[in-house]
Amino acid sequence: MTTKRMLIMLILTGVVFGAVFGMKWFGTKMMNEYVNNMPTPPVTVSATTVKAMAWPNELTPIGTLIAVNGADVTSEVGGIVTRIHFESGAMVKRGDRLIELDADAERAELQRLRAQANLADTNRKRREQLFRQEAISKSELDMVVAESEAARAAVQAQAARLAQKEIRAPFDGRLGVRRVAVGQYLAPGTAIVNLQSLDPIDIDFSLPEQHLGDVDVGFDVAVKVDAWPGRTFEGEVMAVEPRIETATRNFLVRARMPNEDHQLRPGLFGQVTLSLEGARDVLAVPRTAINYSSYGTSVFVIEPVENPEEGRPDKSAAQRFVKVGNARGDFVEIVEGLKEGDEVATSGLLKLRNGQPVVIDYEQTPDAKLDPQPAQG
């Protein structure tokens, strides 16, 4: 009897718990269905129409400034530094003496060789006189002449070795930071100071192979650098590489600019503008319409909703991946992915999802300009 009663109690308990969990599951299911069927709330955005624009026909590569001449001045021979004739950062002319190395031994050797050369020259003159008197043979004279010329050559070679003990500027330019001190031993090839020729100055940049026929020597260029905002440096193309790099399919171009005030320095990055003939038609959208991400560049195109429900927006946003080109002012060129007349969102992109209902507020559309000017304060 007791066993039967316990069995009934267990069955009743299972029924109660089953009913409780069943009701909870049913409630959760109904809630999920309600949430899933809830209409997505609309997002208010601004929008603009994709426009066809006539842009100046320009190429805008990034280049690197290089000196016409630039090098670390080094010593060809070893020795102890005895005198330094320059200060760090000084301007020098070609041939200016920079440092001297201990050369006492070389000077003494030069004096000895000069004495030998003088003796050989005197002996040569005597033998020439004897030869004219037919007192010696031609072979004897030739031997003395050869000894005299060898002695003179030895003097010249020693004078050249002595000259190497004075390190001079190889070209005009501005010196960098001095790297040696008096009393220091310099091994051959040791850098003494960096020397850069700053006026004029070159800039190297690369262009895609399709522009090989668009660029030639003498074309004008304008260069801007971050070090001098608001200033443009003018120059012209001086050389075009005759071959295409197989790895990048680009070719190298070099332009030269005057740099009398030495504001441009080797190693700076420069934004190059290379003006070509005529203008080109492009499709463009404001920069604020572009959504950059790790998986691609996209925009949100505003599309009409078919048969919208009553009270619901009649437009939605569709994400579309695009290929962008050059930027100019507040606009970005669209190479692929859009057509003229398409409407794209220009604000609120972070809140948008593919298929998101939208409400367009045209009063909030950013005022994009092709050539914006800084605010006057």
The 3-class secondary structure across the chain, one letter per residue, is CHHHHHHHHHHHHHHHHHHHHHHHHHHHHHHHHHHHHCCCCCEEECEEECEEEEEEEEECCEEEEEECCEEEEECCCCEEEEEECCCCCCEECCCCEEEEECCHHHHHHHHHHHHHHHHHHHHHHHHHHHHHCCCCCHHHHHHHHHHHHHHHHHHHHHHHHHHCCEEECCCCEEECCCCCCCCCEECCCCEEEEEECCCCEEEEEEEEHHHHHHCCCCCEEEEECCCCCCCCEEEEEEEECCCCCCCCCEEEEEEEECCCCCCCCCCCEEEEEEEEEEEEEEEEEEHHHCEEECCEEEEEEEEECCCCCCCCCCEEEEEEECEEEEEECCEEEEEECCCCCCEEECCCHHHCCCCEEEEECHHHCCCCCCCCCCCCC
- Tell whether 296 is covered by a domain: yes
Q: Are residues 285 and 272 part of one domain?
A: no
**What integer is the mean pLDDT of 54-83?**
86
Q: Are residues 176 and 151 part of one domain?
A: no
pLDDT band at 257 (very low <50, low <70, confident <90, very high): very high
- Tell whether 373 is covered by a domain: no
What is the model's pLDDT at position 31? Answer: 60
What is the model's pLDDT at position 312? Answer: 59
pLDDT at 376 over 60: no
Taking only the tens place, the pLDDT of each residue in 310-339 is 655 678 888 889 898 878 778 888 888 888
Taking only the tens place, the pLDDT of each residue in 85-96 is 888 888 999 989
Total number of domains constituting the chain: 4
Give the Å distances, CA to CA, from 152 to 118, 129, 141, 351.
9, 20, 17, 89
Q: Are residues 307 and 258 part of one domain?
A: no
Averaged pLDDT of the chain:
81
What is the model's pLDDT at position 195? Answer: 92
What is the model's pLDDT at position 43? Answer: 74
pLDDT band at 151 (very low <50, low <70, confident <90, very high): confident
What is the model's pLDDT at position 315? Answer: 80
Q: Are residues 95 and 191 part of one domain?
A: yes
- Tell whether 333 is covered by a domain: yes
What is the model's pLDDT at position 34? Answer: 47
pLDDT at 185 over 80: yes
Is the N-terminal amide bond of 357 cis, ω within 30° of 0? no
Q: Are residues 353 and 291 part of one domain?
A: yes
**What integer is the mean pLDDT of 32-59?**
71
pLDDT band at 65 (very low <50, low <70, confident <90, very high): very high
- Tell whether 287 is covered by a domain: yes
CATH number at residue 131: 1.10.287
CATH number at residue 301: 2.40.420.20
- Tell whether 24 is covered by a domain: no
Of 228, 246, 279, the residue at which a domain comes to its end is: 279
pLDDT at 38 over 50: no
Q: Which one is predicted more confidently, 350 or 220? A: 220
What is the model's pLDDT at position 2? Answer: 65
Q: Per mean pLDDT, which of 98-102, 145-149, 354-358 is the most reliable?
A: 98-102
Give the Å distances, CA to CA, from 143 to 63, 117, 138.
63, 15, 9
Q: Are residues 328 and 225 part of one domain?
A: no
- Is 49 within 8 Å of 286 (Cβ atoms)? no
pLDDT band at 235 (very low <50, low <70, confident <90, very high): very high
Q: Are residues 273 and 206 part of one domain?
A: yes
What is the model's pLDDT at position 377? Answer: 46
pLDDT at 35 over 50: no
CATH number at residue 95: 2.40.50.100
Q: Are residues 262 and 217 part of one domain?
A: yes
pLDDT at 15 over 80: no
- What's the domain range around 90? 78-100+169-196
- Tell whether 374 is covered by a domain: no
Taking only the tens place, the pLDDT of each residue in 112-137 is 878 877 877 877 777 677 767 776 77
Q: Are residues 252 and 142 part of one domain?
A: no
**What integer is the mean pLDDT of 28-47?**
62
Q: Per mean pLDDT, which of 18-32, 101-115, 122-136, 190-204 is the most reliable?
A: 190-204
Q: Are residues 203 and 272 part of one domain?
A: yes
Assessment of whether the complete model's pTM goes beyond 0.75 = no
Taking only the tens place, the pLDDT of each residue in 284-305 is 888 888 888 888 888 888 888 7
Q: Are residues 353 and 289 part of one domain?
A: yes
What is the model's pLDDT at position 4? Answer: 67
